Every structure is written in structure tokens, then in C-alpha cells.
Structure 1
Amino acid sequence: MTDTIINEDVSNEYVHQLDRQHVFHSWSTQGNLSPMVIAGGKGCRLWDYAGKEYLDFSSQLVNTNIGHQHPRVVAAIQAQAETLTTVAPAHANLARGEAARRILERAPSGFGKVFFTNAGADANENAMRMARSVTGRDKILSAYRSYHGNTGAAIVATGDPRRVPNEFARGHAHFFNPFLYRSDFWAGNEEEECQRALQHLKRVIECEGPSAIAAILLESIPGTAGVLIPPRGYLEGVRQLADQYGILVIFDEVMAGFGRTGRWFALEHFGARPDLIVFAKGVNSGYVPAGGVIISDEICRHFDDHMFFGGLTYSGHPLAMASIVATLDAMRDEGIVENADRVGNGPLAAGLQQLAKDHAIVGETRGLGVFHALELVSDRNTRTPLPAARMGAIKNALIAKGLLPFVVENRIHVVPPCIVSEAEVTEGLTILDAVLGEFAAG
């Protein structure tokens, strides 16, 4: 157990009661909530006011890539607060310029500037706005298996069912992206899945009207939808289709970027270059809300003599920018991206593959770096997803044993911070093994 700091004047019961009386929660029916109380954290650990400790295999919402309470990042926020706590986005500011420079140093070649937002959702909003402005077209194509945020256009670009009660934005159409395990194309292998998914996308473009489509918006690796690694050649094929019809490509790297896959950007695993890259989460591990759009040189030139009709009061907020600078410097100096590659694609991936062999309840495991998912099924042959009630019971059992998971539908997303050690991986896998064994037997 780590050295936890407990405030003896505060209890789990008090914080829970305070929350339930006054806090309105997202994506929830409010009347039956019982949120877990968290008092503090350090590294890959969290604890409550009673001192119960959890190994964080969720990275919260897959964003604390650098872990909890990294001292360099905390110190940078404190130092910036003493110098300049806030400034209007129209002014030049050292922290903002340094943050943009560091992001561009890690981005692919051919990207010139960064537009800062408050999170991933409004970053996607502004990327779509840029694409519409540059092309003079209206429609955005995005995948059904996707999540892009919960603001006006971002939630409509999202493919999962949460968009349905929120479809108030215009100009959106969807297509099926590849996922061989649950293929929509009756594919028997990755090559067939790729070819058929691209043919399907081509037909959607043709039917929606190529001259009406501004951009194709894709998560490089869809995260909330299940950590869906694109088949070889798919993103390259999307790029080719976009070029054929004069359509821009936006890669959403909000969840997959900044070390999560063992690379600075997930797109580095593939051969396709987008026109715009959307980021948030891991750029500063969510220590202060921040996101943004990395803009290609070509699009930068367009806005040299065209107005960009967009802006936010807190674009490039100094506290957020200072946290980005410190996060990216610490990740570089401490080899954190390399650790995500070594540990995630080594003992973590191997351990998850062993769990899939040992437990029939696991239909498939997939992932890169510290970005993996276990697909749980009630029948391997039919691939029937494990029911929600059983998934809830599994989640509760993991938490009871001290592992904080990220559970979505019938999947356990295994997404520890990029700093996770081999010993912590072994600890987490041991808990997963025990709980999966209990439920497989039951």
C-alpha cells in the first residue's frame, strides 16, 4: 500500500451524501446513483477516506496517461498560478506558445499550428468547423462505432446510441467502420474486412454526394467503441478515397494520443496522414481541462487570408498550457511513452492473451500499448455479449478486490496509466484472472 494521505475530519459517508444532495451527474439516471468516493491518488493508485486503495486500470476516463499527481505537473500548475492565472486568448502568452511548440514537435511533419480548446468535444467541433470553412461543404461523415464528445455537433458525429436523443445538429451521416470480430461485412479475415469496409464507405460517399462532404472524421483507434484496431490498409484507403473526392480527413486522437498506444500518436502505427488532428486527455492527463486541433500547413495557409469564425474564452488557458508543457517534458525525460510500449505490448498484452486462453468468458482481447479491451461473451461460438447485469457484477467484484476498471457494455477496457510498472500489471492481471474465473465457473 502506498503512503496515502487521509483527512480524518472527512468521511466517505459525508462526501457521498454531499454529492447526492447537490451534484447532477452525466450520462445517468440521477435517482439510483451511488458514486465511488475518491479522496486522493498517486501514480497508478487511488484511495478513499477510509484508506481503501485501488489500482487504477481505467486511467479515470482513459486520460491520466502520466498517472495521478505527477509532481512536475503539479509544480508547474502552481508556478503558473503564481505568475498569471488567466489571460484572454487574443494575447500572446509564453505558456501557450511553449505548449503549442511541444505538441507540434511530436506531431507528424506538415503540421504548422495548434488551436486550443477546453476538451476533446469542442476540439472536434472546431475541427469540423475548419473543414467546412476550407471546403465550402456541409456534411461530415463519421463511423457508427465511435465517440467524439457531447457537444452539439460532436455528439451527432458520434455513432453510438447516445447520439439519438441529441440529434440537433445538421449535416451528419454515418458509415460502418471495420471490426472483424463483429463484422458487418460477412468478412472472414482482416483483408476482406478492410476491402469491404472501404467499398461500403465509397458507396456512402457516392450516395451522400461527394461534392457535399467536407470531411471524414475518424478515431485513429476507436476507444469507447471497443479499442478497435483498424485492419492494415484501412486508414490509408480512407485517405485515398478522401483525396479522390476532395474531402478532408480528421483523426480524433483524444483517447488514443500522447502515449496511450506506445507512440506519441496512434496514427504513427499506420500510413495515413490526416488534415487535422484532434487531441485532449493525455496531452496533460486531464490535470486542467484542455484540448485542441493540430492544423496542417495547407489549412493554416487557407486561414492566412480567410476569417476563422470560432473561439473560446479559455482557449489556451495558462494553467492548462503550463500543465501541457510539464506533462510532455516529463513524458520525454522519463521515457513514459517507451514504457507504455514496452510494458503494454509486452507483459500486459501477453497476460491478457493468457486470460483469453484460460477463460471461455473472454471472446477476444485486442489492443496496443496500454490500450486494450477484453470482449466478454456468454458463448464463444455465437459471440453473444455478456448481459449487462453480469457485467455489472464483474465490475463490482473487481472493485471489491481493489482494481478500478473501465467497463463499457460487454467489455473491460484495460487501460492503466502509461507509467504502469510490470509489478502493477501482474497485480492487475491477477485480480482479473480471479474474478473472470469466479464468473466463468458461475
Structure 2
Amino acid sequence: MKLLILNANLVNEGQITQTDLLVEDGFIAQIGPNLSGRPADRVIDANGQYLLPGVIDDQVHFREPGLTHKANIHTESMAGVAGGTTTFMEMPNTVPNALTQELLQDKYDIAARTAMANYSFFMGASNDNLDEVLRTDPRTVCGIKAFMGSSTGNMLVDNEQVLDNLFRHSPMLIATHCEDEATVRANNERFKAEYGDHGTAALHPLIRDEVACLKSSSLAVELAKRHNTRLHILHISTAEELALFRNDIPLTEKRITAEVCVHHLWFDADDYEQLGNQIKCNPAIKAPHHRAELLKGLLDDRLDIIATDHAPHTRAEKAQSYWQAPSGLPLIQHSLLLMLDFVRQGKLDIQTVVRKMCHAPAQCFQIDRRGYVREGYWADLVLVDPNQTTSVTDESVYYHCGWTPLAGQTFTNAVTHTIVSGELVYERGQFLVERAGQRVLFAR
């Protein structure tokens, strides 16, 4: 398909410029003024709209295989595309856990048949699969995932000798979930004894507290420095952890990077009263001062990437008591709109949104020809209309679980078009193809 976009306000590499753009054979063929009249199968007049690189979400849980009553790759990538996400990296704690190369390949095979967005999958680390981890191809897999805190199945890596060997020998980026398991368990037992069956989600940030996060993150950083490992710490949720990260060198020179998730920037512990288990997640959404400090850390570049940790569960699962309800919430359809609302509120600018959601993931993971609007790069593009609004209801989401903690919210922008690897996939509420995702490769 040849696709011509005219009169767009392109937000890319720190600049906003009015320009035209031509897509041909999956790639950006030309960027510049006065391209009208070029032969094209489709022309979009983007006058008054922002043209952005597609969002790259480096942390999602799409649940397939094994937990497809909650979600699947097709539905969740569809939701992502509707919200401007064109590439996702999915976690290994599916059922079965992706702890062998064969099980990892099974997920790639599913995505090749069903993914609406571009995809990569993390190889999972456990206490006893180092040989399998070391077989991972850095060119075709985004990274190794180590759960240094609660997870499903055999994925909790709590043996420090195993961790040391993993960090010593890993040929590629290790992404970590950092919460100290012993601290969390001790807190859990104490609050269960105190509250019994009357515990509520308001306890969650007290059980999964700042001490648990900092202790585990500090260990990960210590191991990475010891072995010069490429470390990426996911979903930082506390002010205390920010001191672990540098902002005095360029992102491309960092060996240790960090991510913040949209829910830790948008919600705080005061929201448990209204939303309860809907916003129960690991690590926990914490007191308001953490949210304020995380935003500062994002702006001063101690935090490098904005992601979602999109993690759906059914309504029935979330409706259980606090102790039984699973952790995680669905967010990918509105992550870009959440951050653009911060722009409208004056908390950051749109260039920063693009840098943290598009450019930085591409840099951190060394993604091949994605994350920027450049001639010769894959055409992963999003058009956003700042003069439209988006009202969120449970009925408006594409998630298989059918609900969102953002129901009732009205955002001050609207995603109108999403282009994935050169295919116009989404246009004003309509999906135009069955699948468009390509396997992401890495320039390592």
C-alpha cells in the first residue's frame, strides 16, 4: 500500500514540524513539504492533527497461552492499536511459563497468526533454567525477564546464587520485577493477622511497601554493576528507588535503565477507596507523594520509559475479597491518551511523551528501525486529534475482560488513525485488517 499523509504536525526527535509523509511497501519513503500529488492508494489530510511514532509498550501481559479467559494476543493488541500502540513486548508468566525456547516459540507462532501490533516476547528466567536462557537469540528476542518478586508457576527467582549467575552470563538485557519476597510475605502475614477477612485493597501499598521495592531494586542494581549487565528495572513505584538511577549520561550510554507505568503516574493510594481491587497491582500504587516524585524522575531522566504493565483479569476475579483478588489492571488502550492529558494539564510536553513512549524504548532495547519517524524506518505511525475527546466506558474497550478502571473518564485527545508496519490498521473506530503485526528485530 502507498499511503500519503498531508499537512500533519509531526512530533519527532524533540521537534514539531508541519509536513507530509509518504508510506510505501511498509516503510517511510519520504518526509517533507509539498508531497501532495504523489501517487498513493490512500490520502489522509491530517490538518490540525499530531503525527507521532507508534507507541512501543515494553511491558504487557496478554495472557496467551493458557489464561485466555482473561485475554489473548489478538484482543489486547487490537486494544493497543486503537490507543496508538504499534509494538508490544509481552511477559513470560503465561501458562505454561515461557521457560524453554520451544515454549517461547509457541508464543511467537500465535502472534504471527493473530497480532494486530508488532510483537516481541521475553524469555523467562527461573531458579533452574539458565542453560535455556543462554540459548536466547539477542537479535530476535527483546530480553530476559526475571521476577525478583511474586509471580506465577516457577518464575520467582529468589536464589541469590542463581541471580548472580544469570547476571554474570546473560548475553542480553535483563528486565526485572523488583519486590523483596521475604518482606512482602512478612507484611502479608502481619496484616492478615490484624484484619482477617476484613482486609481491603487499601492495605496493598502497606504490604507491598517501599522497603520491599527498594531492597530488591538495590540488589538488582548491585548485581548489574558487579557484572556490567544490561539491566532494565520495570515499573518503578517509589520515590526512594529514584536514587538508584543516573541522569548525567545519555540514554544510549546507560547500562541500567528504568521504567515507570502510567498507573503509577495517574493513580495514588487515595483511589483505593473508590476503585478497590480494580487498581490492585504489583508493585502497588502507593501514597500521593510517590506519584509526584515519579513524575519528577520522569522529567529529569532518572526514569527512561513509560509503559503500561497491561494485565487483565475478569470482573469476577477482581470482585473477590482483597486477599483472593489477583493483581493487575488493563490499560493499553488509553496509555497514550493518559499522557496527552498530562500535556493538556501542563505537567509535561508532547515531545517528552514521544521521547519516553516511542524513542526511548527503541533505544533501550536497540530495536531495528522503529520508534522514530525517519525515512527508511518501518511506518509505525499514529494520528491524534487534539480537538476531539475520547469518553471511556466499559463498552468502549476492546479488552477481552470487558472493563477498565478508567470508566467515566473523558480524555482531551482522540486517536484517529494507527498504521502498523505500513498498514492502515485503525481508522476512527474501525479496524481495517485482521492482523498486521510483524516480529520485531533488534540491532544487537
Provide the TM-score with structure 1 as the length reference.
0.31
Question: Larger helix proportion, structure 1 or 2?
Answer: 1
Question: Larger strand proportion, structure 1 or 2?
Answer: 2
